[in-house]
Amino acid sequence: MPAIEALVKKVDINPYNLDWRHFITAWSRDKQFIGCGQIKIHRDGTPELASIAVESAYRGQGVARAIIERLLKDYSGRRLYVFCPQSLQEMYKKFGFALCPKKEVPAYLRTAGFSFRLLHLFFPKTDKMIVMVRRSD
C-alpha cells in the first residue's frame, strides 16, 4: 500500500479512497514496482476506473495499457466510468469509453467535477476534466 500511495501522489492524481485490495500492480523484470490501477466503487455504487499510474521511466512502453486491459477483463459490471483530463479522451476511446452525457453522469462524479471546477478558480490548469463511460449492455 505505501508504494501505491507514493506513486499515485507522485503522478499527481486523486490520492483518496485508495484501497490496495482493489488494485492490480505492474512490476519490472527486475521486480521493481512500476505501475498500478484500480476499479474504485464509490459510496453511491458508481464504479470508476481510477488511479492508473506508471513510473515515468516506464511510460510509453504499454504498462498503462496492460493495467487497463487487465482491469477491464476482470470487471464484470455493466457500466464503468472514468474521470480524466480531456487530453486522455482519445486514449480511453481505444478501450471503449465515450464521453458521458451530462445528464447521465452519476451523482458522485458530478460532485467531483464540480469540486474540480472550483479548484480551477484558485489553481488554474490547462486541461479540463471530463467523465467518460464504457457500457457493456
**Residue 43 pLDDT > 60:** yes
- The total of structural domains in the chain comes to 1
Contact by Cβ (8 Å): 38, 51? yes
pLDDT digits (tens, 9 = 90+) for 78-117: 899 999 888 899 999 999 999 999 999 998 888 765 555 5
Contact by Cβ (8 Å): 88, 45? no
* Whole-angstrom distance, CA of residue 49 vs CA of residue 46: 10
Domain hosting 118: range is 2-135
The one-character DSSP state at 91 is H
pTM, two decimal places: 0.85
CATH of the domain at 125: 3.40.630.30
pLDDT digits (tens, 9 = 90+) for 1-19: 889 999 999 998 878 778 8
